[in-house]
Structure 1
Amino acid sequence: MVILQKRVPGLTEDTLDRFVTRAKRGTGVRGSVTVLVTTSRELRRLNQLFRGKDTPTDVLSFPPAHLAAKGFAGDVAISADIAAQNARRLGHSPAEEIKILALHGVLHLSGYDHETDSGTMARREERLRKQLGLPLGLIERNSTSKILNRGVRRERPRSSRRDASSSSPLRRRAQ
């Protein structure tokens, strides 16, 4: 399921949903993924709520609270505002940037963690990015050139500070 709370030129819910399906296939993710495209303000709120960090970020991934969550792979939240800034700076469309961030989030949902895996996620992201026809990947561009503002970090919640039995944060929001 894709929720576009903030519109992005050249991107529809259907287009992003089809892309996420391809990204899931490439990463081996099974189950549904909810993708929320929203504002930096909302990403900052989610980052504060789930990670204790009062700063906006471009993408957050929320794996399911229970590893055996039937039919549910997790949530990905993306800031359309930061995606638009990154796209301008890097010379591609905001829609492409949203897809890059979605791929990054889906990779996290499949169990990768670029902060601890010695480049495994970066190599996988690069391969998939090329297969999916995307410009320079998130990890790739951040590790090889410091093009992006260092104040904006891509992070995913390690574990929720909230009750682990609670349902998906994005699904609760969509209801």
Structure 2
Amino acid sequence: MHDFARVLADQIPGAAPRDVTVHFTVRRQAAAQHGYRSRGGPVTVYAQALHAQLYGLPTDEEPLPAALDALLQAAHTVAGPEQQSQVLQQLAEQLRNAAEILEWARNDAHWRQLPVPTWEWLRDATDRTRDLADGLDTLWPGFTAEPPARAAPPQPVPHPAAPRTGATTPVPSAGHRR
């Protein structure tokens, strides 16, 4: 597995595999056909999956990381709705931990007699963080189901030809730029 990671990371000379991420997208001509999907993440994760797939090895179902930076990396590599749900559950738990840290800081600010706005801001931040965690608890179950199939993007409507009798130049309509 390390050999695969090293070969992928060597695309950036001198970079260690732990410092390299990959990103996969489909060609522009095929993007709509595949729902404009893309994936990416740490090269070591893709090397492990590639190694297991090529040699018929079982893939390790490791628990999600607790550190937010590692959870962010995991979020970019999850494949299915069940894993997406697990990432959101883990995020809710980490938000609860963050709320505990904010509460600790709020109590310390009060004990140290810091200015009242400091204590109030920390109190509000603690409450908002707990609200976010509670909101995720109500939302993550919805991620376990597959999303409905995307409809094809609307086709552009042809603009009528400008009248030929005037000397004015037609003004292009405002639209989405690519």
- TM-score w.r.t. structure 1 length? 0.23
> Comparing both structures, which one devotes a greater share of its residues to helix?
2
- TM-score w.r.t. structure 2 length? 0.23
> Comparing both structures, which one devotes a greater share of its residues to strand?
1
Q: Which has the higher contact order (CA 8 A, sep 6+)?
A: 1
